[in-house]
Structure 1
Amino acid sequence: MSIHSKPLSLQINGKPVGPVSVPEGLMMIDFLHEYLDLTGSRLGCGQGICHACVVILDKPDGTSEEVRSCITGALFFDAKKVRTVEGHARRNDKGEVVALSPVQQKFLEHYSFQCGYCTPGFVNAATVLLERLKRAPVARDQVEHAITAALDPHICRCTGYVRYFEAVKEVVLGTPGLVKESK
């Protein structure tokens, strides 16, 4: 029996990767961890339920979406643009973090995590939400509903939901252009 491999080329966190020969059944989370040493996405349930493993897929139309990397094969991402939690902070030429993203900063300020295992998924979910609201602002009276809808699929075993929610709400309400006044 032999393992069939195919070439994979994609962009991760703004940098080209590949072509790299990968086994056909390799899940994206394993590619990130084992081939690129990007271990921020977490393997929680391995069944696509907890969402600790999500990465952001940037679509050609400028929209983005979360994709569960534990149940999505690496080859699905061929010729696509992906962001991992490692790609959110701003870095200098040496690769050192010089500024966190607004979401990461608010998560720290609110101490939105306990063990931190689910945090990468929540960071990506909140980032996708902010990007969606930049394109289509939500009415002020719908902010909490929008945040709940974005974060609901994510499971936190330490029950940090309130702190995640409050941090995201602060980012949404504090970022100009994401909220429109209700009529």
Structure 2
Amino acid sequence: MAEIEFSVNGQPVHVPEDKQEMSLLEYLQEEMRLTGTKFCCGIGVCQACTVAVKQKGKDELKPTVTCVTPLKAVDGWRIQTVEGVALPDGTLHPIQAAFLDEFAFQCGYCTPGFLMASIALWEKLKKKPVPKDKVKDVVMDAIGTHICRCTGYVRYHHALRKVILAEPGLTV
């Protein structure tokens, strides 16, 4: 196995063979010092460690848990972490603003995972809007299995539904 290449928040990354067994989460935190992606369960269930990725040869942004994803699997991927979400001028992404406006989180530990899954949904809806009466269902599909220890689910779901319905082009 040779060196692998991928990008994180637009930054090219080259990983030698001896580090390719590391999890993506461990690499982000230990090697890149990107600590926004959180370790929680370690088995891919809670989804606190979710990032958004475009896999090699695919155009769809999809949520991916990093704690169980080995680096050797991410060759050619474009990875976006919570640190790469704000807009280029520093303005918060509309989903970030909605989470704040709706007081969607308490401790904030699970927020990056909820946010990154929501960003993937946002991008999907920009390409393929859904009927307004289906927004609740697509939100549930996107973040319904994420775990929040502080039980902030209702606020996350409400904030995401609200911002999707308010944004032109995401619904039909």
Which TM-score band applies after superposition, normalised by the shorter structure?
over 0.9
1:145 aligns with 2:142: no
SS in 1 for 2:142: helix
TM-score normalised by L of structure 2: 0.93
SS in 1 for 2:95: helix
Q: Specify whether residues 29 and 22 from structure 1 end up closer, same or farther in structure 2 by C-alpha distance, changes over 3 A only.
A: farther
1:41 aligns with 2:33: no
* One of 59, 79, 87 as aligned partner of 1:90: 87
Shift of residue 25, structure 1, vs aligned partner: 2.0
1:18-57 equivalent positions in 2, closer than 5 A: 18-20=14-16, 22-57=18-53
- What is the identity percentage for the equivalent residue pairs of Structure 1 and Structure 2? 39
Aligned residues: 171
Shift of residue 20, structure 1, vs aligned partner: 4.5
Q: Specify whether residues 23 and 15 from structure 1 end up closer, same or farther in structure 2 by C-alpha distance, changes over 3 A only.
A: closer
SS in 1 for 2:3: strand
Instruction: Provide the residue aligned with 1:16 in structure 2.
Output: 12
Larger mean CA deviation between 112-121 and 77-86 belongs to 77-86
Distance 2:6 2:54 in 1: 11
Shift of residue 6, structure 1, vs aligned partner: 5.4
Shift of residue 61, structure 1, vs aligned partner: 3.4
Shift of residue 126, structure 1, vs aligned partner: 0.7
SS in 1 for 2:162: helix
Cα deviation code 1:127-152 (max 9, x no counterpart):
11111111111111111111111111
Instruction: Provide the residue aligned with 2:163 in structure 1.
Output: 171
Shift of residue 8, structure 1, vs aligned partner: 3.1
1:114 aligns with 2:106: yes
Structure 1, unmatched stretches of 5+, are 93-97
SS in 2 for 1:115: coil
Q: Specify whether residues 90 and 134 from structure 1 end up closer, same or farther in structure 2 by C-alpha distance, changes over 3 A only.
A: closer
Q: In 2, are the aligned partners of 1:6 and 1:22 still within 8 Å (CA)?
A: no
Shift of residue 21, structure 1, vs aligned partner: 5.1
Q: Specify whether residues 160 and 22 from structure 1 end up closer, same or farther in structure 2 by C-alpha distance, changes over 3 A only.
A: farther
Cα deviation code 1:80-111 (max 9, x no counterpart):
1111111001355xxxxx21111111111111
Q: Specify whether residues 36 and 20 from structure 1 end up closer, same or farther in structure 2 by C-alpha distance, changes over 3 A only.
A: farther
Q: In 2, are the aligned partners of 1:129 and 1:150 still within 8 Å (CA)?
A: yes
Cα deviation code 1:53-72 (max 9, x no counterpart):
01111133321111110001
Cα deviation code 1:5-32 (max 9, x no counterpart):
9523211111212244542421110000
Instruction: Provide the residue aligned with 1:71 in structure 2.
Output: 68
Q: Specify whether residues 13 and 24 from structure 1 end up closer, same or farther in structure 2 by C-alpha distance, changes over 3 A only.
A: closer
TM-score normalised by L of structure 1: 0.88
